[in-house]
Amino acid sequence: MNLKQLGILIALVIVIGGASLMLNKHEKSSWTGGGADVGKKLMGDDFPMNNVAHIEIQHGSNALNLVKQEDLWRVRERGNYPANFSQIRETLKKLHDLKVVQVEEIGPSQLARMELARAQGSNSAVVVQFNDSAEKPISTLLLGKKHMRKAAQPSQP
């Protein structure tokens, strides 16, 4: 190999390396941006989880009411049967600490497709409303379509 071939080879390595670095940086910026709300708490910094006294979960015509009566959580639809306080507490703690990781901008026409519409029917959202002891709404959470990742490898039998 002579000096001219070595110079061409070094120049090619520099050009290809620079191009791959630019492509890698462009790919990273496309999935790390996400919007201004990324990293913020989903329920807000001031979500008063200790003031929640009534949780209403509704999907279509089905409803579930968890009510705090005399310092005990109860299921209203089951004749005030005692609810599991530890599960309610853990859920409220997780919701308080939940952060936004991705923001999807969609229009009103796409709400039904993402199962975020407040209407009755199969494409309606699961509405979770948090009320205080005076039945004033604290916060409302809409839960839409489940998004599950596909496995990289097929599962073994």
Residue 135 lies in a domain: yes
Strands 62-69 and 72-75: antiparallel
Residue 96 lies in a domain: yes
Query: In terms of pTM, does the model score above 0.75?
Result: no
Residue 151 lies in a domain: no
Count CA atoms within 13 Å of residue 38 on its CB side: 11
Place of tokens 């006294």: 53
Residue 93 lies in a domain: yes
**72 is in which domain, residue-wise?**
49-143
Query: Mean pLDDT, 10 residues at a time, over the chain (157 residues)?
Result: 87 92 78 67 87 91 91 92 93 90 82 80 84 92 79 63
**Number of compact structural domains in the chain:** 1
Given a contact cutoff of 8 angstroms between Cβ atoms, the answer to whether 16 and 76 are in contact is no
